[in-house]
Structure 1
Amino acid sequence: MSLQVGFSTHSKDLQNAYDQVINSSSPVNWLIYTYDKGTNDLKVQATGEDGLEELSEEFIDGRIQYALARVTDPNTELPKLVFIAWCGTGVPESRKGLFNSHLNDVSKYFKSFHLQINARNEGDVDPDAIMKRVSESSGANYSFHKESRRMEPAITPVGSVYKRTEIPDIATMQRQTMKSEPAPAPVSSVHQPVRTTPGKLASKWGQDQDDQSKADQVRADRERAEKEAQERDQAMAAEREQRAREDAAKLEERQRAQQEAADNQRLRQQEQDRQRQEDESKRQQQEDLQRQQEEEALQRQQEEEALQQQQEEEAERQRLEEEESARQHQAEQDRLAGEEAEKARQQQEEEERQREEQAQLEAELAASAQHAAQTAGHAADEAVEHQQGDSVSAVVLFGYDAAEDNEMSMAEGEVIHNIEQLDEGWWSGVSEDGTRSGLFPSNYVQLLETTPEAQEPVQEEAHAEPEPEPAAAEAAGPSAVALYDYDAGEDNEISFKENEVIRDIQFVSDDWWSGLAPDGTAVGLFPANYVELQQ
């Protein structure tokens, strides 16, 4: 809020009230301005037609108010403008600090007035006190407006020939009428009778007539002198009245000039107000345009920031998705690594178990060596009879129960035929009755050695009537064709190339199967999604 007093907000009402008060023909003879609530803009509080008595009731102790009243000067009977600046005792100190600066602006707004009164209490705005100050401020107290018109004597015609009027010497005339008396003699301390000097006898009536004529002459001269003095007084009064009329005319002319100057000033002020309003309107339009441009720029900035934020959020979302995908991938890798570690641990435990079992088997081997030697001869004979071609056979030293689907169970003393030595720990073969085939631990059997004499008939028979390979394949499990190359990562896995055939497949789990390698040298695990089963 501006600290300057404002006239533009209610300028029309302020000017109308002011024009009515300064117009002597208007019934409105006073106005009072006050501040609009919460601002420094002036507004018209009230106007009236009943003079100072009515105006004095409008002043409020807690306000700053400005009043202009038109009164009649009791000395000159002319209208006078009185400007009253009221700052009540109840006005806050913060507002009192603005009173002096605002007072200068308001006094300039009223342009011209005859008397200014700075009021603080009701005594300062008392109508009698105000009129007394108006009377004192009007200068000389001319009384000709109050005197009743006196009767003037008729003016005698003036002759065409100048006649000098002799002014009588009143003092000389009075001295001539007075009798000369001698100075009184000294008075002695002794009484002496007074003796008068006898005078000349004269006629009593003659002396009286002389005295009477002299008195009449003195009276006539006195009346003539009084008349002349009265005429001089009348002439001086007429001159004073003429001067008063001239002064009144000059005052009226001066007031008329002041009124014209005030009107011109008012017109200039109106023009200035109009120009100020136009400037204010232009400034407001410029401010509105600037504010609109700033709002548009702010809106564009907000849209750009929103777009940038959206892009940042999208980038952040993609980054989070990538991180989540990376975490999932890492979790999958960790899971696979954990599974591999678990498999390695299980394999290590299995190897440990096998070593323990091997130690136990070695201990039991010594106990059953004799029994194995006894049955070896009989088993050798049976092996020669049952051998087909040059296959390897072995006798079972200890009974074994299959733990997996791709393994086979064995009974102690049983002969296993068609043995394939897949690795050091596990072999593959066919049971003696031909109903079972699969993997078995190599340390549970002992290979049988056959003499060349016993093998020759068998070999000749084998050359004569060879067993077809499909028959062995029919006895084995299902087969599959490799879709991709695979290199074994563990000792219990097999390697193969694309389009090679894996036989005797055992479905160990959904992801890993067991089968015979394409070269037939090993049986082991491989990933199921690397092969396609053959129908």
Structure 2
Amino acid sequence: MAVNLSKHGAALSDAYNEVVNGRTDTDWVLFTYEGNSYDIQVAAKGGGGLDQMVQELNAGKVMYAFCRVTDPNSGVPKFILINWTGEGVAGVRRGVCANHFNSMAHFLRGAHVMINAHSEDDVEPELIMNKVSQAVGVTYSLHTESNEFNSTSASRPVGSTYRKTNALEEIKGTNRDNFWAQLEKEEQTRRQQERKKAEEERQRVEKERKEQEERETAERERQLRERAKQINQQRLFEKRQETEHQNQQRREPVEQELRSAEWKGIRSSRSVQEANGSKYYKTSALEEINGTDRENFWAQLEKEEQTHRQQERKKAEEERQRVEKERKEQEERETAERERQLRERAKQINQQRLQEKKQEAKNINQQKSVEQELQAAQWKGIRSSRSVQEANDAAAIISQRAVNPRDIFSQKETNFLTNRASETQPACNGEGTLEENIYDVPSHHRVYDEVKDDRMSTVKQSAGLQQSLYAKALYDYQAADETEITFDPGDIITVVEMTDEGWWHGYGPGGHYGMFPSNYVELI
């Protein structure tokens, strides 16, 4: 951003001239920026010298000081330009304002010494006066040189005889001739160094700013990725819990049947054992036990019990597999039936749209032909003011008896939801009404009968174009209660009513009517 010296140009020039001319007591002036803009204005001025000017410097601003001082050696006025950048200035603004110093130096031309200051230690009056004294050519004294020249010229004899050359005097003369050229060259070198330093400072600040922005951008992206990861993990966890809950609900009936079957098997086994025990007891089981090893008897009994339990578990597992298989087959049949209904519904919607487009094109062609015939008839038939008046009366009667397209659309939408076969009934009723209105017009105004037919076709076209809205599901949604509908991605929702900005009404894939969020679907 470039510095602006034109907004307060008159005040800036006046303040500068007061210091340079020396006609007033003003020997210093401070310039600074107006607010956060880059417009330069006069901040302060006075006649108290360096001490007073240093007290007016602000540590939180970027300021430019121009001061007139008197060289203690030569007594010649010297001008000092100070580029003040306070320690409280932000880094970005510091870098931008560093590029403005060259423009200010060009505006405040004539400065013998230029100083870059950042703190109060850099603007001590003694330090500044030392820099003025040490500058090139500042130690030159008019009084001393004039005295030396007078003394030398007085001691020199007058005549045409040979005189020995004084090397020191020649060196002084040569230096005096090259003094200002050397001073200008060193001044240019110093300015180039200052510009180079300012450019390096600006590049450093710009590099730090870019690095800071890159770090902040990387941090924001990392936080966004972590947030997205947490959201995905939360969704997966919720979906996993929901799946486990559904599986648990599906397993409960099967496990209950298994427990019932095991309990029945255990009861039947116990009843068989009790019956066998009573039977063996009645047929002298004591003699058989005495003839058989007791250990083999109990081992055989345990083995038979294990075999019986294995058979019961096998039957229960087969029953569970059969129930699971029937459930999967039922789900597959329901899924296939739902897909078939969706395909049929999409096919019907496409056929209906194609029919509407054909009817629209037909109505447009009929309207164009009727308009052409109307223009021809008006050009040939209507020539007198009486016939024109009668034609206007007939047109007014026709417009008063025209059917309201909104009534036709409402009636057609209701019949479409209840029975698709009766879609054309409102249009037929509208034609009958229109035909009756046509016959009320006098027969010699045949031109306006054609106008009526054109209006009737326009009504039909409006009624055909204003059909129910359809929406396609983008995400899956589960109904919270009976007033909402459930759908999966890709499902078609019919008869959409946009009753609210966030919630719409419509018929879901299962034919249930209810509310659903509008940001989960898109209109088709």
Same fold flag (TM > 0.5): no
Task: Name the TM-score, length of structure 2 as normaliser.
Answer: 0.31
Task: Name the TM-score, length of structure 1 as normaliser.
Answer: 0.30
Q: Specify the structure having the higher radius of gyration (Cα).
A: 1
Larger RCO, structures 1/2 (Cα 8 Å, 6+ apart): 2
